[in-house]
Structure 1
Amino acid sequence: MQRFPVSSFRFGCLGGLGASAVKFSSRYNKDVRPKIAIPEPAWEKPEYNARALPQYEEAVRAAGGEPVVVPLGAAPAEIAKIASQCAGVLLPGSSADVDPEKYGQRRDPKSAAADRQRDNVDELLIQDAYNLRKPLLGICYGMQILNVWRTGTLRQHLATPVNHEAGRAVLRAHNAVIPSDSVLGAIVAPAVLDMTGPSLGPGQETSEGHDAVEEPETLTIPVNSSHHQAADVVGDGLRAVATSPDDGVIEAVEGTQPEHFVLGVQWHPERTYKEEPASRALFAAVVAAAKHWKK
């Protein structure tokens, strides 16, 4: 199995996927469209699925991938067959909450009901992704189930000054602060610097005689927000790589193994991929990782 060169996700490294994710995807998507497995967001909620699922599919296609929807009523053997045909996994949002029994807590009265069919599919796809080192992107609920599967815990209800339940109508609910030396930081850095301009180191000059660009320690991006839960204890083999600056809520996690692309974000980039370069970069990165993946 070929390992994905996550070490190439370096800030400012034009040869790595972090700085050229969108460019990389558009260059190769005419030749190879890797299949990305996406579970249906919710069990027996056709209206929710009809509204939410197309956004994930469109974002994956725009990044050069081919979405493959996994029905929540599928038998394990069918799920395994679908997974075997896919080179990556995208875990979408959901109207449910992860069953707190999975992480050893009693249910908070404000927690929504669990979706066991969705969890069954998610857990099989996560297991497959970890067994075969397939790239994995979790979004909102998808990040939460990933964290719990890795033995992490969740905050069952957020009571903070930040409106994390702003909803679909608010495209920029609050900011997320990301360390530049993270995989996530490398992915979004080009979009952030395009918006804000470079940071210049005093007294430093480039070979052309201009001030050199100094890597900032953190990057800040605006994010939307439609959740009332978040990661608390971060799971094994994951690390927190984005927080809300006003309340410290964890907004993203990523895998700690450099050969395996694993990323979870609490916001919904599928809602803003047409408008936000940072959102497009997330989908481009997972599709690019899937293009590198081989059994």
Structure 2
Amino acid sequence: MKSPRIAIPEPTSADPEYNQRAWPQYAHAVEASGGIAVKVPLSSSPAEVARLAASCEGVLLPGSPADVNPQKYGEEPVSNCAAADPAREAVDELLLQDASNLRKPLLGICYGFQSLNVWRGGALVQDLQTPVNHRPGRTVREAHTVQIGEGSRLRALLHSGPELTVNSSHHQAVKTVGDGLIPAAVSAKDGVIEAAEGKGEEFILGIQWHPERFFDEDEASHRLFQAFIHAAAGWELRPIRESLAE
């Protein structure tokens, strides 16, 4: 089986230093798991994004220092809401549409999870205020525990028990899940949604923590990326007639 190509957009259009630090971590986790990381520049034209997406068997939406424009879920930004990144949002939407149309495996991480959720009609908490510190930063490996839903795909692919200790670098979170998504994990102490997955057979997963950051040291991160790459390796372009008939 050939190595699947995974489309990964640049995290942000406003901070090249962030991209240089963060994007290679996602690429490393994908390639160490048997995939091929394909960078999607945020300066790409829609036609170029479509061309890159068509060459890939899966989509990974990474984190970002930006926040999704709250007007997309019917709210005005609060004072602590970070600036939106229209270029990143435009690329995400094209990749999400491609993955949805063709049922490609999709993994959203942190901002990428929030982007997926909003694209599917969900809403976000714009600024978390809970007893749990959800943003201790990228150097903290163990920030808090999450409870993983019994019977969830996430729990099955992690081969884990009901709890997992995760890192954390976010100040926003899913408030209402989007169409076709179901919660798969919540923060143990405050109930914040930490993961959601698709209802169908396709691999659709969004998580709030960053498995790419400690990929080389963490077994759960290995299993998550391996499951994603395995799903992408098994993806096949289905006849349009078959998809329309369902």
Q: TM-score range by the shorter chain?
A: over 0.9
Aligned to 1:100: 70
How far apart are 1:168 and its partner, in Å? 0.8
- Partner letter of residue 212 of structure 2? E
How far apart are 1:166 and its partner, in Å? 0.7
How far apart are 1:245 and its partner, in Å? 1.1
- Structure number with higher relative contact order (C-alpha < 8 Å, ≥ 6 residues apart): 1
Match of 1:282 among 218, 224, 228: 224
Aligned to 1:137: 107
Match of 1:177 among 139, 142, 147: 147
SS of corresponding position for 1:165: coil
**In 1, Cα distance between equivalents of 2:148 and 2:19:** 30
**In 2, Cα distance between equivalents of 1:169 and 1:86:** 31
- Partner letter of residue 274 of structure 1? D
Match of 1:232 among 169, 175, 178: 175
2:191 pairs with 1:221: no
* Structure 2 length-normalised TM: 0.95
Aligned to 1:261: 203
How far apart are 1:44 and its partner, in Å? 3.2
SS of corresponding position for 2:34: coil
CA deviation string 1:246-284 (max 9, x = no partner): 0000000100012x1100000000001111111111111
2:104 pairs with 1:125: no
Aligned to 1:208: none
How far apart are 1:169 and its partner, in Å? 1.5
Calculate percent identity across the aligned residue pairs: 57
The structure number with the bigger radius of gyration is 1
Runs of at least 5 residues in structure 2 that lack an aligned partner in the other structure: 238-246
Off by >4 Å, runs of 4+ in structure 1: none
How far apart are 1:187 and its partner, in Å? 0.8
- Partner letter of residue 70 of structure 1? V
* Structure 1 length-normalised TM: 0.79
Segment of structure 1 superposing worse, 180-189 or 121-130 = 180-189
**In 2, Cα distance between equivalents of 1:45 and 1:165:** 19
**In 1, Cα distance between equivalents of 2:214 and 2:165:** 11
Aligned to 2:243: none
- Partner letter of residue 105 of structure 1? E
**In 2, Cα distance between equivalents of 1:41 and 1:171:** 21
How far apart are 1:80 and its partner, in Å? 0.3
Q: C-alpha root-mean-square deviation of aligned residues, in Å?
A: 0.8
SS of corresponding position for 1:61: helix
Runs of at least 5 residues in structure 1 that lack an aligned partner in the other structure: 1-30, 193-217
How far apart are 1:178 and its partner, in Å? 0.4
SS of corresponding position for 1:187: helix
